[in-house]
Structure 1
Amino acid sequence: MAALSKSLLDAKKDKLPAQAAEGAHVHSSGAAQVEGDELWDKLPRTPADILRHAIKGAIRAFTLAYGARVTLAFLLRLLAVLRKKDTILGALLAAVRSQDGPRFGAFFGLFAFGWKLVSHSLREIRGIDDRWNDFVGGCVGGLAILAETPERRVSYMQQMSVRALQAIYASLHSRNLVSIPHGGAWLFALTGSQVMYAYMMRPETLPSDFYRFMVGAARVPDPILRYNCTNVRQGQVDPSIAVDLVRRYKGTADNLARAQGMSATPGVIPCAVIHPTSDSCAETNLSRWLRVFQMIAPVYASLNIVPMLTLRLKHFLTAPRTLASKAIFNTVRSSSFLASYVTIFQLCVCLHRNLHGWVERVFGRRMADSRALVFLFGFLNSAAILIEHPSRRVELGLYVLPKAVDSLFRIMVQRRLAVVIPHAEVAMFAAAMGAIMSFYQREPECMTPMMRKLMRPFFGRY
């Protein structure tokens, strides 16, 4: 094997100078060619070197992933400390003792080991340095997802699948084969419409934790949402349930009176039931904006601070004020986006109820509370995405896309238009990681900046 590796190395030095540059993500010119040659000379050649390189990569990935997971869990648990429901020591011990850290670390470590071992071995065995080595290595490494729980396998598969699709789109776009202006905003608007439809009409098709988060953010309890859904689907409801809901959620006297005056065919469920604690739609939505901002700001602060402290600590120590200011600005910006997103949707709901009589006279009762309106409201409130930075719009669109697709797929299964294939998430994740690693090595510019910044510390350059 050593003799074979030496002969392949000699052949490559004569025949593949351009591939050396390509493997280093640079073009064969000037200083870039020199950088590519230097990286090419560092690649492991012998079986022992490749195994050693894979083991070192696995240890590095495990350590960083474990540390990042524990740090994030600790920062999130600080919310309980601020509410005086826990101590700092208790929060730290809970974060360290959680099984999430070791699982997450093992997942990253095993992936790094499999990818590096297979891709470098294939390069030496085949005598060719191309993206197929990276693709196969990524596919084999992707089997590391088995270290995670079944629920998280699905989540990771969804996220990595859309990342792979995004890289493929960017690659085609760079070749002038396809172009969609403001693609990130459009993607978020279209996928957001499906998610908001599921939130209002098909909550069982959304991940339970994601649906709970939406309910908590929107401040409309689940029983009220389901009561409204019954009215949209059946066209009639039990008025006594509306009265019980207003009383259960401590509604005002005026809202209770409005609920008591409801008929069995109200057309739409009135605002008195949708937000029983306030008589004013304007007051309700202003309060909602402030509460969502307060709720989500600590989460966004953690997401901005943790990568800065774990992945860019050296840079932070050299310019703490600049990075801290940037983290605060991004936290306020993202929190404002989500607060506006939730509030605009509720504004549409309230406006619809206040104009329902006119809409029914013009378009008829069938259109006055049509399910299509939910899609329309979900599309309109997506205008809040314009608050975010353009690169974040793409990230948010890619975050929502798998949830929208999964919801649509579940609806199709319920209607017997699709079937579930056991363990398909493992195969799909492996294929997605194969594509992602081929772009990571050959066309990193086709990946989002966030993906490149996150992957480089964990997996290195090769």
Structure 2
Amino acid sequence: MNSGIDSEMDFNIITRVESHAVDLSKLGLPAIKEESDKEVQEQLEDVDDVERQTLSGERVSGIRASEQKKFKFDGTSKSRKLMKSSKKVQFDKKSTQKHEQVPYERHYEDLWGAITRNIGKGFMLGYGGKVSVNVLFQLLNFIRGRKVNLDRRVVLQTARDYGVFFGLLLGINNGIMYQTRERWGKYGDKSKLNRYRGYLAGFLAGISLLWVPKESRKPIIIFAHVRALELQYRMAARRGYVPCFEDADTLLMSLASASMIHSWLFSPSSLDPSYVKFLSIQVPVPLPIVDALARMQAGLPIDIVALNKIRAEMKVPLLTIDPLGYDKLPPGEIVHPGQTFLRFFTVSFLSGVKKALPVYLPVFTLPVLLFYPLSLVKAPVKTLSRTLSGVLRSTVFLALYCATGVSTITLLRQFGVTYTNLGRFAHISPAIAGFMSGLATLIEKKSRRIELALYVLGKAIEGRTLQLSRAGMLPNFEGADILVFMGSLSVIMHAYVRHANMLRPSYHSVLCRFFDADNRHVFIKSNDPAEKGEHNTGTDKS
């Protein structure tokens, strides 16, 4: 994990940090809040392209929060919806006497300032973020009773690499947006170069992934890739190219689970080892039985010795059959000997609850303790009830997910879905089991379903890609992972710049804290000499 970048950064970070600290004190950005699916859907109803007006001062979405109290908008109070050009902003009388709207003002002195300032800011955020994550992992290990290593090298490992990565990411993207705004922005939407500046900035900024160690790139690439796919689907659905329907997130979860569980049973080496270990712990049956299930569906001999050790612990009769004679036994004799299917499913579910509870307890409690400790003092009952509700809901989901997967394969064998009857078509049973397991996501909150689906989709894509690459069906060349990340980031940045309503509110709120966009370059200029110094400096939110 300790990949080296020997050359130190020399971008006058101290000066840039001091200047940015002043800006941060003026931002007053609201906290990210989780919105209901109904609110998200309302934002997606009006999804026409935001009309890019010339830099004449008509856009007001870039006005900082402290100035929004000094004017009023016409219409309803839904201020999150972007206003169309036909709707004009009306200032009250007192406000118009004191302020006048002015055209675009620069955030930076020049291109070099835009690049170096964002590199310095990104380096600090990337470095500090990686250190915080490493410390958090050690804290989770402590809570779960595992070995804790607080060695300085462990806490700081790869932190510098991530700092350089995020610094270059911000510097390249925001630098290109700054430079092209003046050159291409004057042509408006008539210029294709102006319309697709986000694509260009995101694509070139993806080169920064080269500074991340190779063994750490895959999670970043998969995270960006699946969210780029989500945005592409949303934009295609807006144009009517693909259907858009209720519970599409659950369908995606089922399809992704079908592929992932199939890979887990028949090609576990294609998945991330940590994820395979997680599934092996959560599955409600011992691993020798899981291996026997996969071998039976593939028509391969099973390990009688390993199964008999498990059966001896369960105090059931040992197997005396040939390793290929499993189809002569009753359908559930290998997986749940001495138990009916219903009893096996119930026991598996209860066992899964015990295993899943330690997983989700820190996931829901740590954020409250670290980021919202005052809520425990101001509203302890409400905070604890919401936290425990989330823990129980997610625990039941994971337990039901795992129990359904194993039980469905056993049930399908009772209906004749075996290698003896279907040959290689018996491989379909893990896919069907995964699809049924994905339906368990209906237990989760609507706002969490898409995140679960995208997470499992990332694992499914990872497994299938590696399998196809091993089979020689996909080109495998140096730098392919970088190209995938560059393409994914270009889609995300284009959506952020041109189709902001396609982004979910939580992600859009995060991107607004770091990345540049056109609708943040119009400010209110004060005519009051006492306030002129404050309003003319602008705020660096890019």
Q: TM-score range by the shorter chain?
A: 0.7 to 0.9
2:335 matched to 1:274? yes
2:397 matched to 1:333? no
Q: Give 2:181's aligned amino acid.
A: R
CA change 1:18–1:307 in 2 (3 A) is farther
Which deviations, in whole Å up to 9, do the C-alpha atoms of 1:326-365 show, x marking residues without a partner? 3443332222211111011122233345x25xx379x972
1:198 matched residue in structure 2: 263
Higher helix share: 1
The question of whether the paired residues in 1 share the 8 Å contact of 2:130 and 2:159 is answered with yes
Partner Cα distance (1:71, 1:316) in 2? 24
Q: Give 1:398's aligned amino acid.
A: L
CA change 1:442–1:427 in 2 (3 A) is same
The question of whether the paired residues in 1 share the 8 Å contact of 2:285 and 2:348 is answered with no
1:414 to partner: Cα distance: 4.2
2:455 matched to 1:399? yes
2:138 matched to 1:74? yes
2:59 matched to 1:16? no
Aligned equivalent of 1:117, options 142, 155, 175: 175
Partner Cα distance (1:431, 1:262) in 2? 53
The question of whether the paired residues in 2 share the 8 Å contact of 1:268 and 1:369 is answered with no
2:23 matched residue in structure 1: none
2:504 matched residue in structure 1: 448
The question of whether the paired residues in 2 share the 8 Å contact of 1:304 and 1:330 is answered with yes
2:304 matched to 1:246? no
Q: Give 1:390's aligned amino acid.
A: K
2:491 matched residue in structure 1: 435
The question of whether the paired residues in 1 share the 8 Å contact of 2:134 and 2:155 is answered with no
- Where 1:383 maps in the other structure, the secondary structure is helix
2:283 matched to 1:218? yes
- Where 2:196 maps in the other structure, the secondary structure is helix
Which deviations, in whole Å up to 9, do the C-alpha atoms of 1:366-398 show, x marking residues without a partner? 279811122212112221011122232222222
Which deviations, in whole Å up to 9, do the C-alpha atoms of 1:251-270 show, x marking residues without a partner? 3231x43x235663222886
Partner Cα distance (1:243, 1:369) in 2? 28
Q: Give 1:339's aligned amino acid.
A: A
Which deviations, in whole Å up to 9, do the C-alpha atoms of 1:408-449 show, x marking residues without a partner? 333334444333232211111012112212222332321234
The question of whether the paired residues in 2 share the 8 Å contact of 1:267 and 1:369 is answered with no
Partner Cα distance (1:119, 1:279) in 2? 64
1:260 matched residue in structure 2: 320
Aligned equivalent of 1:137, options 191, 201, 204: 201
> Any gaps of 5 or more consecutive residues in structure 2?
1-51, 64-80, 96-100, 189-193, 517-540
- Where 1:371 maps in the other structure, the secondary structure is helix
1:411 matched residue in structure 2: 467
1:195 to partner: Cα distance: 0.9
1:176 to partner: Cα distance: 4.3
The question of whether the paired residues in 2 share the 8 Å contact of 1:252 and 1:279 is answered with no
- Where 2:301 maps in the other structure, the secondary structure is coil
Partner Cα distance (1:455, 1:323) in 2? 28
The question of whether the paired residues in 1 share the 8 Å contact of 2:170 and 2:205 is answered with yes
CA change 1:330–1:105 in 2 (3 A) is farther
The question of whether the paired residues in 1 share the 8 Å contact of 2:128 and 2:159 is answered with no
Q: Give 1:16's aligned amino acid.
A: L
The question of whether the paired residues in 2 share the 8 Å contact of 1:345 and 1:381 is answered with yes
2:165 matched to 1:107? yes
1:309 to partner: Cα distance: 6.6
Aligned equivalent of 2:223, options 148, 152, 159: 159
The question of whether the paired residues in 2 share the 8 Å contact of 1:191 and 1:404 is answered with yes
Give 1 or 2 for the bigger CA radius of gyration: 2
2:535 matched residue in structure 1: none
Q: TM-score, normalised by structure 2?
A: 0.67
Partner Cα distance (1:441, 1:46) in 2? 21
Partner Cα distance (2:108, 2:129) in 1? 24
Partner Cα distance (2:272, 2:253) in 1? 18
Partner Cα distance (2:54, 2:505) in 1? 33
Q: Give 1:107's aligned amino acid.
A: F
Which deviations, in whole Å up to 9, do the C-alpha atoms of 1:52-96 show, x marking residues without a partner? 54145314532552354135313321234xx3x55xxx5555796
Q: Give 2:438's aligned amino acid.
A: S
2:426 matched residue in structure 1: 370
Compute the RMSD of aligned alpha carbons.
4.0
Partner Cα distance (1:395, 1:404) in 2? 14
CA change 1:327–1:122 in 2 (3 A) is farther
CA change 1:260–1:369 in 2 (3 A) is farther
Q: Give 2:220's aligned amino acid.
A: Y
Q: TM-score, normalised by structure 1?
A: 0.78
Q: Give 1:244's aligned amino acid.
A: A
Partner Cα distance (1:382, 1:443) in 2? 30
Which deviations, in whole Å up to 9, do the C-alpha atoms of 1:217-266 show, x marking residues without a partner? 114444443343333323x526xx32433316753231x43x23566322
Partner Cα distance (2:332, 2:294) in 1? 14
Partner Cα distance (2:471, 2:206) in 1? 32
Q: Give 2:335's aligned amino acid.
A: I
Q: Which moved further from structure 2: 447-456 or 138-147?
A: 447-456
Q: Which moved further from structure 2: 218-227 or 108-117?
A: 218-227
User: Identical aligned pairs, as a percentage?
Assistant: 20
Partner Cα distance (1:380, 1:207) in 2? 23
